Amino acid sequence: MKTLLAPASMNDVIRLLRAWRFWVLGALIGGLAGTAFYFVSPPDYRARATVVVSFNMEKAWPNKPDNELFYYLERESRKVEEVAWSDATLQQVAGQTNLTVAELRSGKLELSQPQDGGWHFYASDPSQKTANELATAWAQVFTAQVQQGIQDAVALDAARQALARSPGDAKIQAQIKDLEAKSFAVTPELQVSLAQSKDLATTRKTGLGVYCLVGAGLFLLLAGLVILFIPNLWVFSMGDRKSA
């Protein structure tokens, strides 16, 4: 029997080539095993809702070079992404779906965002209905939170202008502190709109084909190891005697 660190020889290659039937059989068994595992323990359903996010960079930073606009886009994207994962957002989602914030953060929710454009809100669950409800609730709450943050940002700008005219006004100062805490530091030029939140297309998180390929690949690897490390197995020894 070969050891793991033994160098490969020409006989090993020949043995692998002669055992092509064993390779085919291993791939077939692996594909069937992957299919069976898919139906015995199917992956979660995954639903996707979409929110359109526009940063209006030209209005927010007019007459700026491209490198500064990209910096602005990256910075503002991170701010809005934090809104999606904030306690205020997830607590509302948890309240609507009877789940805990810890469960939502444990992999049930995924965010795919190309910065300026459509942000995709994914939700996964063994139940197709729950996955749809999660994705819808997350996108809706996120949109409402950001829109409220934009309103607070507009009010904050107005309050700062008022404070500039009346520097000692304690009421305006208190209003500014309150708005700064609620605005999520987003810019007034930001725009968000809910694009897809109803009749969401829901599919399995991983397709049947992936299970078949993984199963076939694993069994092919196993077949190769058997051929290399158990050369005296009767299937291969018979082939060697015939060739002799």
Residue pair 146/190 in contact (Cβ under 8 Å)? The answer is yes
Span 124-164, pLDDT tens digits: 999 999 999 999 999 999 999 998 888 888 888 788 778 77
Residue pair 127/120 in contact (Cβ under 8 Å)? The answer is no
Question: What tokens appear for 49 in the block?
Answer: 């809702």
Half-sphere exposure of 168 (CA within 13 A, CB side): 0
From CA 35, how far away is CA 29, in angstroms rounded? 10
From CA 89, how far away is CA 145, in angstroms rounded? 7
Nearest CA among 176, 194, 191 for reference residue 80:
191
Q: Helices 66-84 and 128-165: crossing angle, nearest 10°?
A: 120
Residue pair 179/188 in contact (Cβ under 8 Å)? The answer is no
Q: With left for phi above 0 and alpha for psi between -120 and 50, is residue 226 left, alpha or beta?
A: alpha
DSSP string across 2-17: --TTSPP-HHHHHHHH
- Rounded (to 5) percent helix, strand, coil in the chain: 65, 15, 25
CA angle 24, 25, 26 (to 5 degrees): 90
* 244 residues of the chain, pLDDT tens digit each: 445 555 556 676 676 667 777 778 888 888 899 889 888 888 899 999 999 998 876 665 666 666 667 777 788 888 889 899 999 999 999 999 889 999 999 889 999 877 778 899 999 999 999 999 999 999 999 999 998 888 888 888 788 778 777 787 778 778 778 777 777 777 778 888 888 888 787 888 888 888 889 988 888 888 777 776 666 554 444 444 444 4
Q: How does strand 45-54 pair with strand 191-196?
A: antiparallel
